[in-house]
Amino acid sequence: MGINDEMNASPEGIWQECLQLIRGRVPDQTFETWFKPIEPVGLDKEKLTVQVPSHFFYEWIENHYKELMNSVLQQVSGNGLKLAYSVVYSEDNPPGPPAPAVSAEPGFIHRQQLESYLNDRYTFDNFVEGDNNEFARAAALAIAEAPGGTSFNPLVIYGGVGLGKTHLAQAIGNKSLQDRTAKRVLYTSSEKFTLEFINSIKNNKTTEFSEHYRNVDLLMVDDVQFFQKKESTQEQFFHTFNALYQAGKQIVLTSDRAPKELSGMEERLLSRFQAGLIADIQPPDLETRIAILQHKAQEDGIEISYDIIEFLAANITSNVRDLEGALIRLLAFSSLSNTDITVDLAKRVLREIIDKNFSSSVSIEDIQRVTTEIMGVGESDLIGKGRKKEVALARQIAMYLCREMTGSSLKTIGLHFGGRDHSTVVHACKVIEDKIQKDADLQQQLNSIKHKIEISQF
């Protein structure tokens, strides 16, 4: 249907004709995932405006199907009609304060950069809560509702890469701005803080630098472990910290390890870090990983079956970032190769990731059995209270491998080792991590145990 002779054509009618053409050119899975969620919302003499579920969705369409979209629109309209996009926001995909601006120009969306340097996609609503992070999330929410008004000052959130520390810290800032519990909010990384401090010295602007960081109600600093061994930066941050703390302002810090494990940091600074609340985030268990993938798919308007999500969650146990990356990689392969997503396809595409983050089908019992065989101790000794050197080492190795090779929570691992608490598991993992850096024989022994565990799965 050309619209030159029918200017009253509806956007719905034109888009339905486009969809009919698209359906015949892509696999069913690709059509359901990337084209069915698109809705027509406007039509004028120059353009057809369609609405997409998220910014990620828009970028994917532009990067992979721009030519197809433009081609079918030209075929249907016959008059050089252009395509424009808008992004719809819902409770599952909130814009955050302030709302991003969407350009009316075809195929272009611009996000306004906040003065606070916050990413408005990081909110409490899209942070998936599980046993691994519920304490950290609860503390963060309490702070967002009353920055500087709780005893959680500073709040230090620590954990491994890709577990959601940055998300949670920025969610505090976004909610504080949205609820107006803080007027001046600033997010920065330790690296950015350091570079700005160096530049302020070089340009004789240290006074301006100090005022910039001390004139806030809520300061969030990411990855403070990178302050290690930077003595001048640590001193500057120490004074900034004190100024904010004494003024009753809120400080939120993230780190890849607990403050007491930050070597190369001044004791007076470490004492400040430990004066408030310290909350850790652990790798998510299987149920939480499934929930994360379901939420990610829903947020980005992606339709994918539960069995695929369960497969990904069962085999990628390292962190949230790897989980989401695996989902995107699988969707990319499916779309670019014009094939539907199946479990077999997921196995083939994700083999490298799965091999790297070995399947959580490995059980704690498997690890305990193989460890005792190779280390020459009894299984009852492993879960008992014996403190002999060889038994303690075998127990620590088994706990370390349980943390690395299964999706079990620290609490679950501890329960399998005679009801020990999660702090014992954390300590065991740290001991083994330190030892294998210095002891090549132990590293080789650990690899032998891991290899035998992997072999036993096939």
CA atoms lying within 13 Å on the CB side of residue 66: 11
> Which residues have CB under 8 Å from 445's CB, separation 6+?
374, 375, 397
Residue 267 lies in a domain: yes
CA 270 – CA 101 distance, rounded (Å): 41
Name the domain boundary from 257, 281, 305.
Answer: 281
Q: To the nearest whole percent, how much of the chain has pLDDT over 70?
A: 88
Report the distance separating Cα 322 and Cα 392, nearest Å.
32
> What are 239-261's pLDDT values in tens digits?
999 999 999 999 999 998 888 88
End position of a domain, from candidates 356, 382, 411: 356
217 plus 316 within the same structural domain:
no
Domain count, the chain: 4
d(CA 264, CA 92): 42
Does residue 2 share a domain with residue 36? yes
293 and 199, same structural domain? no
The answer to whether residues 216 and 107 belong to one domain is no
Which tokens is 156 given?
A: 């230090």
Strand 39-43 to strand 47-52: parallel, antiparallel, or no bridges (unpaired)? antiparallel
- Whole-number pLDDT of residue 187: 92
Q: What is the pLDDT of residue 456?
A: 63
pLDDT digits (tens, 9 = 90+) for 268-319: 999 999 988 999 998 888 888 888 888 888 777 777 888 888 888 887 877 7
> Domain check: are 276 and 290 in the same one?
no
Does residue 138 lie in a domain region?
Answer: yes
pLDDT of residue 455: 62
Tokens 């998300």 found at: 167
Q: Are 79 and 3 in contact (CB under 8 A)?
A: yes
Same domain, 197 and 334: no
Please check whether residue 128 lies inside any domain of the structure.
Answer: no
Sign of the Cα torsion 390, 396, 398, 401 reads: negative
Task: Give pLDDT tens digits for 104-135.
Answer: 333 333 333 336 788 888 999 888 888 888 89
The answer to whether 259 and 273 have CB atoms below 8 angstroms apart is: yes
Residues 254 and 377 in one domain: no
- Same domain for 58 and 90, yes or no, is yes
CA dihedral sign of residues 428, 432, 433, 435 = positive
| Per-residue model confidence (pLDDT) at position 254 | 94
Q: What is the pTM of this model?
A: 0.54
Q: Is 127 within the bounds of a domain?
A: no
- 341 with 265, same domain: the answer is no
The reply to whether 3 and 65 lie within a common domain is: yes
For residue 154, name the pLDDT band (cuts at 50, 70, 90). Answer: very high
pLDDT of 292: 87
Q: State yes or no: pLDDT of 90 exceeds 50.
A: no
- Domain harbouring 189, CATH code: 3.40.50.300
Expressed as residue numbers, the domain containing 370 is 364-455
* Mean per-residue pLDDT of the chain: 82
How far is residue 317's CA from residue 97's CA, in Å, rounded to a whole number? Answer: 33
281 backbone dihedrals φ, ψ, rounded to 5°:
-120, 125
Given a cut of 90, whether residue 167 has pLDDT beyond it is yes
Residue 332: give its domain's CATH number: 1.10.8.60
Beta bridge partners of 39: 51
**Domain endpoint, select from 356, 372, 404:** 356
Q: Which two tokens stand for residue 440?
A: 């090549």
Range name among 110-119, 224-233, 412-421, 427-436 with the lowest pLDDT average: 110-119
Asked if residue 124 is part of any domain, the answer here is no
Spatial CB neighbours of 37, under 8 Å, sequence gap ≥ 6: 52, 53, 57, 301, 303
What lies within 8 Å, CB to CB, of 117 at 6+ separation is 186, 187, 188
Whether 372 and 433 share a structural domain: yes
Helices (H), 220-276: 231-246, 267-273
How far is CA 228 from each of CA 191, 235, 259, 262, rounded to the nearest angstrom?
A: 11, 11, 11, 7
Q: Which of the listed ranges 305-319, 346-360, 429-443 does the model predict with the highest average pLDDT?
A: 429-443
Quick one: which of 313, 297, 320, 317 has its CA closest to 402? 317
User: What pLDDT score does 54 carry?
Assistant: 72
Is 125 contained in some domain? no
Looking at the structure, tell me whether residues 273 and 142 fall in a common domain: yes
User: What's the CATH code of the domain at 386?
Assistant: 1.10.1750.10
